Amino acid sequence: MLTNESASDNLLEYQRKVTWRRHEVKTLRDVSLWNRSYNYTFLLLVRSIFTILSRTKHVFGISYRVEASDVSSANSDVIGRSQSVPTILITMPHR
């Protein structure tokens, strides 16, 4: 049989755990995407996609370098079709 002192210690420990769990749940709710705006969520998704894409390119050694014979295109502000964002998004598999 538990003594009165050990029972009160168990109760205090249980209350401490419950308080900690409530705080944990509140923190998780605050950082949840359900509480964020559409714009924030969209920007987070886009940033994630480009981060994954750049890391994948880095791992496989893919880079877009301008050849010496292509000096005229290096000075232009035009981005080639293979380097544009819509091409990257179109070639990604949809699930």
58/56 Cα distance (integer angstroms) = 5
* Higher local confidence (pLDDT), 67 or 5: 5
What is the Cα–Cα distance from 45 to 52, expressed in whole angstroms? 11
Whether 12 shows a pLDDT value over 60: the answer reads: yes
pTM of the complete model: 0.44
Per residue in 25-82, pLDDT tens? 999 999 898 888 999 999 999 999 999 999 998 888 887 665 555 555 555 555 555 5
Residue 3 has pLDDT above 60, yes or no: yes
**Domain boundary assignment for the chain:** 1-31, 37-63
Q: Is pLDDT above 70 for 85?
A: no
- H or E element at residue 88: helix 85-91
